[in-house]
Amino acid sequence: MSTARQIEIRRLRALEESFAVAPAGPEAGLFGPYLVTSPAGGNYHVEIRDLKRLRNACECPDLARSGLRTCKHIEAALHHLRRTRPLEVSRALAVPPDRPLVRFTEVDEARVRLDLPPGAPDALREEARAVFDESGGFSARLPEDFFRFYDRVQELGLELEIVEEVREHLADLEEDRTRAPAREAIYEELRSGTVRPSCSELVGRPVLVFDLETRREFTEVGGASRIQDLGISVAVVFDYRDRRHHYFEEDCASELADLLLGAERVIGFNLKAFDLPVLAGRASRDLSGVRALDLLEELERGLGWRVSLQNLLRSTLGLAKTGDGLEALKLHRLGEWDRLAGYCRDDVAATRGLFEYGREKGHVLIRDGRSEPPLRVPVSW
């Protein structure tokens, strides 16, 4: 595995596991000791000495063994600094380039910028003016305007380097654009209730796929310990007995709970830590008897870290999630019930697609870096 890929894995783990990061010494500059705490409560002492992954320290065995000069704890601390202290970080990184270079701003990694050294040719400055603002930030449409600019630069025979991460990001955007119709076709098929032939033995059995959207977010109810107060805006169940999606509102929470309790198996993503506790808060039933298959839990057991549904859907099925939880909250507030229900149904459809793929092939796919081939994660559900 390439060094870049190994570093990318640690960077992704740092993002996907939610580490808490706090300065472990007197808060002065960016550099110094930090305490990085994992969701499971493990503490790691990290020393940040520079922002380019060269001289940082952590006490974990991974750093000592890997020879990479970074680990997920260091990456979590760097991510924390980029997010909470962007100005100081950008100042510390402000090293003038010696050649024309397109890269991401370090402050916000998804923003493309162009650095031109003092001696850059006028022709390049001229072309750049159409798509980059005065400070070098890209100000037009990605990726199409960038590609147009770059074609022109090449026609003129001008020297311009684009860092690998940006190339990959542009390629992803282009793929998203060109693949949108194909993605819609995959969703259409899943929505229609088509079951993979290899999973046809499930048809007619009380096997359910379940997801719900909430009325409120954690900050509105006083944090994760009040999960039972989030409420339900819509819940959707795909039932293998009739291969259809069924919709529920909060006032049917108890009927929904009975349906789940009576099922042979209830499939979902992050079901045990999220959907079931939310439902339990609104149904007068004890849900500990639900025979839940939580795909996130299964994958976390194999991988040792939490992977996002987004990553799984994209890598395994070529799907993009149609929105996120915040989008759903917005739709709920606007009273757009049909769109909200459609959004939740698409999540159920996609989760089922993932489940059936894993059941058929014995693995699902995740990507740990944009350019590398996806990783196969064995599953046995």
Residues that bind Zn ion (CB under 5 A): 58, 60, 63, 71, 73
Cα–Cα distances (Å) from 86 to 89, 109, 291, in that order, read: 5, 11, 46
Query: Which residue number, 63 or 208, has a Cβ lying nearer to Zn ion?
Result: 63
Task: Give the 3-state secondary structure of residue 208.
Answer: strand
The nearest distance, CB 43 to Zn ion, in angstroms, is 11
Q: What are 345's two structure tokens?
A: 């149904």
Measure the CA–CA gap between 317 and 242, rounded to whole angstroms: 24
Cα–Cα distances (Å) from 172 to 168, 176, 177, 314, 320, in that order, read: 6, 6, 9, 11, 12
Query: Which residue number, 73 or 345, has a Cβ lying nearer to Zn ion?
Result: 73
DSSP per-residue letters across 85-144: -HHHHHHHH----SS-EEEE-SSSTT-EEEE--TT--HHHHHHHTTTB-TTSBB-S-TTH
- Whether 127 contacts 152, CB under 8 Å: yes
Measure the CA–CA gap between 50 and 18, rounded to whole angstroms: 22
The nearest distance, CB 42 to Zn ion, in angstroms, is 10
Query: Which residue number, 73 or 215, has a Cβ lying nearer to Zn ion?
Result: 73
Q: What are 97's two structure tokens?
A: 């380039």
Query: Which residue number, 58 or 344, has a Cβ lying nearer to Zn ion?
Result: 58
Encoded amino acid at 343, one letter? Y
Q: How many CB atoms lie within 10 A of CB 15?
A: 14
The nearest distance, CB 32 to Zn ion, in angstroms, is 16
Query: Which residue number, 74 or 209, has a Cβ lying nearer to Zn ion?
Result: 74
Measure the CA–CA gap between 182 and 150, rounded to whole angstroms: 27
| 20-23/32-37 β-pairing | antiparallel
- Whether 211 contacts 348, CB under 8 Å: yes
Strand ranges in 164-214 using DSSP code E only, listed in sequence order: 207-214
Query: Which residue number, 63 or 307, has a Cβ lying nearer to Zn ion?
Result: 63
Q: End-to-end alpha-carbon separation of the chain, Å?
A: 28
Query: Which residue number, 32 or 193, has a Cβ lying nearer to Zn ion?
Result: 32
The nearest distance, CB 20 to Zn ion, in angstroms, is 14
Cα–Cα distances (Å) from 95 to 99, 111, 116, 119, 208, in that order, read: 12, 18, 12, 16, 55
The nearest distance, CB 46 to Zn ion, in angstroms, is 7
The nearest distance, CB 71 to Zn ion, in angstroms, is 3
Measure the CA–CA gap between 166 and 52, rounded to whole angstroms: 17
The nearest distance, CB 74 to Zn ion, in angstroms, is 6
Query: Which residue number, 10 or 332, has a Cβ lying nearer to Zn ion?
Result: 10
The nearest distance, CB 73 to Zn ion, in angstroms, is 3
Query: Which residue number, 58 or 348, has a Cβ lying nearer to Zn ion?
Result: 58
Q: How many CB atoms lie within 10 A of CB 305?
A: 16
The nearest distance, CB 222 to Zn ion, in angstroms, is 32
